[in-house]
Amino acid sequence: MTRMRTVQQTVGVIGGGASGLAAAIAAAQAGAAVTVLERLPRVGKKLLLTGNGRCNLANRDRSPAHYHGTVPQANRILAGFDPEAWFREMGLLIRSDSEGRCYPRSMTAASVLDALRIRATQCGAETLCDTRVTDILPQKQGFLLRSDTSSGARELRFDSVIAACGGSAAPSCGTDGSLLPVLERLGHRVVRPLPALCPIPVQSPHLKALKGLRVRCAVTARCGDRALKTESGELQFTETALSGICIFNLSRLAAVHGRSLTLSVDLLPELDAQAVGTLLRTLLTQRGDQPAGDLLTGLLPRRIGEVLLRSCGISVSAPADAMPQQAFGALAGMLRAWEFPVAGLAGFAQAQVTAGGISGQSITRNLESKRCPGLFFCGELLDLDGDCGGYNLAWAWSSGTAAGTEAALFKC
């Protein structure tokens, strides 16, 4: 039913994270009376951890290739929003690096949270912390939100509601996916949430020896003979897993394909197979009289070289030129394709984002629920996740702003 709006529209925002604060600012700027309901004692806890405390708040490249999930609406929303201009307008200056990653000029995440908090206050948005929303009840007009607060249960009524409660990654930041069953019960399709942008546990007898080492390489995720995706960058070895940004960007595939995935590490991606053979022969000429353990130290950290040599049956203490021809071939092969079968999935506690959430099928092009008009979604709660590099926060700001603007205009 459409009615003339005579009083100020009330908007409830569930979650005071990145997308919730953006939504609150947009709704308040559009004239609504906005209340942010945050379960933790303060808003923006996760934001302070982003980018190792520096907050990689966006990326200049907002092309669809960096996003995954079932929200086709995202491309239009991302393309129509300029995070740098948005922050500049709030008094926050941005710097970007050669890969297009944007950071606050201060290089501290606290500056980003301050900018958002100051702007939300200037716009008149109110915040209720220690308020965990437990149920969303659509009414004839508007919504009733049930919540647990430090002083007991409380019910609040709003004309429209924005669900900005995030995914299930990093649950210590207040995000445990506990509202998903409520939203599912209201008729929304939920794509199973899985951890993404996280280390990938692998099977290897060598992880203990390699723990703590870092190496620049290219990593290909393979399912049988099929190469699914290759990422380049710095790989880090942990006691149970491979980590680093290139691994984070493959972790969504590990979540989907599980143990049928193998990670193939190319330690010399700048060389083809023939050039690797030539390089090894040159090294043998130069250092053949030395222990084999010295052979690769000009290319790789010593411990990595020793693990490779041992895996090929080469004694690290014997002279390098004593290595059999077969072992030479195996070593050349391993330098280009060192295989690590995936052993399982990291937990949400280790993940930066969630793959999965509310399906794009359940929402309109304006991020409004198809089942409950007046209920809007934004941020990581939706089934949309980006690569590592500022893509997820870019989505949080742009989807929050879109949902906030629409929620303020919604008429019961």
Ligand X SMILES: Cc1cc2nc3c(=O)[nH]c(=O)nc-3n(C[C@H](O)[C@H](O)[C@H](O)COP(=O)(O)OP(=O)(O)OC[C@H]3O[C@@H](n4cnc5c(N)ncnc54)[C@H](O)[C@@H]3O)c2cc1C
Which residues would be at the binding site for ligand X (CB under 6 A)? 14-20, 37-40, 45-46, 49-51, 55-56, 132-133, 164-166, 169-170, 173-175, 178-179, 352-353, 379-381, 390-393, 396
Calpha distance 80→404 (Å, rounded)? 15
CB of 217 to ligand X, least distance (A): 23
Nearer to ligand X, 201 or 390 (CB): 390
Please identify which residue in the block is written with the tokens 């942010």.
Answer: 36
Nearer to ligand X, 276 or 353 (CB): 353
Helix 325-336 with 302-311: angle, nearest 10 deg? 130
Nearer to ligand X, 220 or 238 (CB): 238
Residue 341's H or E segment, with its range, is: strand 338-341
**Which two tokens mark 159?**
């004309």
175 in helix, strand or coil? coil
CB of 13 to ligand X, least distance (A): 9
CB of 358 to ligand X, least distance (A): 11
Calpha distance 261→202 (Å, rounded)? 10
Nearer to ligand X, 235 or 353 (CB): 353
**203 within 8 A of 353, measured Cβ to Cβ:** no
CB of 366 to ligand X, least distance (A): 17
The CA-atom distances, in angstroms, between 104 and each of 6, 16, 22, 37 are: 41, 20, 16, 26
Nearer to ligand X, 37 or 300 (CB): 37
Calpha distance 363→346 (Å, rounded)? 30
What's the alpha-carbon Rg for the chain, to the nearest Å? 25
Phi first, then psi, for residue 255 (nearest 5°) are -65, -35
CB-nearest residue to ligand X: 17
**Which two tokens mark 259?**
């143990």
SS (H, E, C) 222-237: EECCEEEEEEEEEEEE
CB of 173 to ligand X, least distance (A): 6
Nearer to ligand X, 18 or 33 (CB): 18
CB of 239 to ligand X, least distance (A): 20
69 in helix, strand or coil? strand
Helix 325-336 with 273-287: angle, nearest 10 deg? 130
Strand partners, 153: 148
**Which two tokens mark 32?**
């609504």
Calpha distance 280→336 (Å, rounded)? 12
Nearer to ligand X, 145 or 210 (CB): 145
Nearer to ligand X, 15 or 199 (CB): 15
DSSP 151-172: TEEEEEEESEEEE----SSSGG
Give the pairing of strands 10-14 and 33-37. parallel
Nearer to ligand X, 146 or 371 (CB): 146
Nearer to ligand X, 51 or 277 (CB): 51
Alpha carbons within 13 angstroms on the beta-carbon side of residue 226 total 6
Nearer to ligand X, 266 or 380 (CB): 380
Phi first, then psi, for residue 318 (nearest 5°) are -75, 155
